[in-house]
Amino acid sequence: MSGQLAIRWVERYLNNYLNKITKLNKDWIIAIDTDSCYIDLDDIIKKLGVKDQNKIANIIDRFSKEKLQPVINGAMDDLLKYMNAYEQNLFMKREVIASRAVWRAKKQYIMDIIDDEGVRLHEPKLKAMGIEVVKSSTPLVVRNSLKEALTIMLRKEENDVIDYIETFKAKFNTLSFEEIAFPRGVNNLGKYSDAALIYGKGCPMHVRAALLYNNLVKENGVVEQYPLIEDGSKIKFCYLKKPNSIDENVIACINTLPEVFDLNKYIDYETQFTKTFLDPLESLLTPMGWHAYHIADLSDFFD
């Protein structure tokens, strides 16, 4: 609660100061975290008419040191008096300067950093927090492509993102099961196992996929070639199109999907692409008012 009080206290002081010097009445703080305030200075930069990123970074750096830092220090001094505290031990400093940033939810954001704690970067650096690009549960090929797509989103325009999505989707549809499947750890196989039905009610999808794999390995008599999935195993699982030979919409494997299953032809590339790549990307495009595909309007009929 002390941390929340301190960061909100600083937020209020910064908003009051920025509204006072600009004569605007807006919320300049676009997000706060445990110990961070994220300030949108775009209105000030636009008024100055500066376009060069390095010059913009210089302006923001100087503005932070000469104007914002004293406001923050004063806020902390006032908080000290307000709380009748013994000693002032709360200090804040400027962290990064980013050219563009998008928040999806609390602790879920991306930003394109051009200056990191006073170090001017030769090339902007993408920082992702709580986004699929940094999650181990996302297929590696998708993680790499998501990072490229997010970089385009932060540095270019909507049509550039759409073009990249179309290009990657065409490539995605040629990849193997093992390349596009979700990596997961699996447990509770015994809990959800059912001798008659293979899996019981309420079985999580990745556990169901593992139990179906084990059943197929046994049915096809290939246990020596393909070990059974056990609790604690690392698996890969993927959606399947229906109807198919096992009448299920998901299957797993440990390393390689056995050819004897004859299930590669049923891989649901559309669902897999949407779940692994498109949904995470759209969750960040939507706050920007952007789309993942071209939107037709009436003017298209007269081109």
Give the pLDDT confidence score for residue 227 in this predicted structure: 95
Which residue reads 């492509």 in tokens? 145
Asked whether 249 and 281 are in contact (CB, 8 A), the reply is: no
2's tokens = 């002390």
Give the pLDDT confidence score for residue 300 in this predicted structure: 59
pTM score of the predicted model: 0.84
2: how many CB neighbours lie within 10 A of its CB? Answer: 10
- As a CATH number, domain 2-95 is 3.90.1600.10
Which residue reads 């393909």 in tokens? 226
- The domain ranges of the chain are 2-95, 135-290
Give the pLDDT confidence score for residue 26 in this predicted structure: 95
Give the pLDDT confidence score for residue 144 in this predicted structure: 93
The strand pair at 198-199 and 250-253 is best described as unpaired
Residues in the chain with pLDDT values less than 70: 297-303
Q: Which residues pair with 194 in a beta bridge?
A: 198
DSSP 240: B
Q: Give the burial string for 5-28 (b: 16+ CB within 10 Å, else e).
A: ebbebbbebbbebbeeeeeeeeeb
> What pLDDT digit, counting tens, does each position of 176-230 carry?
999 999 999 999 999 999 999 999 999 999 999 999 999 999 999 999 999 999 9
Architecture in CATH for domain 135-290: 3-Layer(aba) Sandwich (3.40)
Give the pLDDT confidence score for residue 115 in this predicted structure: 97
